[in-house]
Structure 1
Amino acid sequence: MTDTGHVTLALDEAGIGIISFFHPSHNSLPGAILNELAHTITQAGQDERVKVIVLKSEGERTFCAGASFDELISIEDKEQGLAFFSGFAKVINACRTCTKIVIGRVQGKAIGGGVGVAAATDYCFATQHAAVKLSEIAVGIGPFVVGPAVERKIGLAAFSQLSLDATEFRSAEWAQEKGLYAEVFDSVEEMDAAVQAFAAKLAAYNPEALTALKQVFWQGTEHWDQLLVERAGISGTLVLSDFTRNFIQGFKKK
């Protein structure tokens, strides 16, 4: 484990696979962490010992701050931009194609790509501190890669609100009302107890039935392997704009 962040997978006796990610900058996601996270989700889905997956981040304040600004500012051409944003596509598609149910645990704010990660889970728990914001258009990029996953969960109208009102957070209660979160709790302790109880319940169910049900949940998304990469190309081009570079440099000077 280093200060550059990490991803871990732990398996308990009940067959609950707990995938945790961490980055010291508010759990932002550089390319290396995105790729490792996607690989770990896929790996857990292929492990017969794993009955259900819990996806979480470490720390207390922020679930995920989205794309790493340090990495965004270092992108020099469209190819690098495509490669970086394809990392978010890989994580969403890993959750989508994983044969196991993925439970989200969102303890704090979810921003940009963090909203996409939460939306890619099959059932998501949160605390009252888990406000959401899609800040991409303010940065000059737009939520193109995470958009399909977010829209699938909360609908086009709510996705449009989040996308255009890019500087304002929506509360965890708003996110629950729109369908992003299944349940919202006052404390992390209450949420964790609920996550553990729900995961244990699912782990005892017929795994074949759960896999078949998950296929029903994600029906109609079979084209996402191509769609999300195409969307990554849009973001990968926009990140090279003067608008985006000036915004990020200004933000980092604050």
Structure 2
Amino acid sequence: MESYYIKSDILHGIATIEFHHPKSNSFPSTQLHELIRMIDDLGQNDEVKIIILKSEGDKVFSAGASFDELLTIDEFSKGKKFFLGFANVILAMRRCPKFIVGCITGKVVGGGVGLASACDYALADENAAARLSELSIGIGPFVIEPAITRKIGITAFSEMTMNPTEWKSPQWLKEKGIYNHVYADAKTCEEETLSFARNLSVYSLEAMRDLKSIFWQGTDHLPKLMEQRAEMSGRLVLSDFTKETLLKFKSK
């Protein structure tokens, strides 16, 4: 059985969540559910003032959904349930009363772009190019769209979705608003992320919580919208086009 994990630790008021999967830090549903639980728990933990979200290694931050699990989906209800996993991670990040700071090292694909966009602040390295590849496998980034568009707008979102094989540079992503800073390498990014979190941790929790509510204002409709979007993905993932394309990717 392949090893993967999500772990957290707390030091001086800063909680760090780190996730790992041997297949490019992709997410099976079990790992999505664990991430939701961890974000909710840390959000309510009085020891925690700031949360850092990062992945293991510096090659790929996250490749998004697990292709292996997508291939096992054989009915609509299973598909909807899987994509609701990503929706519920974003909703957990939204409702978490603590600032979530992303440390984005390595390439970012699909659902990983959604996670980076749902962070309240994101620092990246020079390798953190990103793409929304969903259209190329017959689906679309439906569930994660609200988190991404909240940061970059519909024009930049459509630019990414309609060019699903094109990598957008970290500089492009910073200019559009997903990243706040881009650093030369992963080590510097990790050091600067921790320094930034430390600086934030001395401020008022109440003030930061209220600021976060402003960052996410106008998003009360997201739970219902994301359920509808999960239904779109759950239907399309059953198509012959998607199944055949996923098999081609898996056989490479």
Per-residue CA deviations over 1:47-66 (Å, capped at 9, x if unaligned) read 01100000001012000001
| Counterpart-to-counterpart distance in 1, 2:189 and 2:203 | 22
Aligned residues, how many? 252
Per-residue CA deviations over 1:97-130 (Å, capped at 9, x if unaligned) read 1000000010000000000000000000000100
> Which ranges in structure 1 are unaligned for 5 or more consecutive residues?
none
Per-residue CA deviations over 1:57-89 (Å, capped at 9, x if unaligned) read 101200000110000000010000011001100
| Corresponding position: 1:52 with 2:69 | no
Aligned twin of 1:216 = 214
| Counterpart-to-counterpart distance in 1, 2:3 and 2:28 | 9
Aligned twin of 1:251 = 249
Q: Which runs of 4+ in 1 moved over 3 A?
A: none
Change (3 A) 1:144 1:122: same
TM-superposed deviation, 1:178: 0.4
> Which ranges in structure 2 are unaligned for 5 or more consecutive residues?
none
Paired residues for 1:1-254 under 5 Å:
3-12=2-11, 14-254=12-252
| Counterpart-to-counterpart distance in 2, 1:216 and 1:232 | 26
TM-superposed deviation, 1:222: 1.1
TM-superposed deviation, 1:42: 0.9
| TM-score normalised per structure 1 | 0.98
| Counterpart-to-counterpart distance in 1, 2:103 and 2:138 | 29
Identity, % of aligned positions: 46
TM-superposed deviation, 1:248: 0.4
- RMSD after superposition: 0.8
| Counterpart-to-counterpart distance in 1, 2:107 and 2:149 | 19
| Counterpart-to-counterpart distance in 2, 1:11 and 1:253 | 40
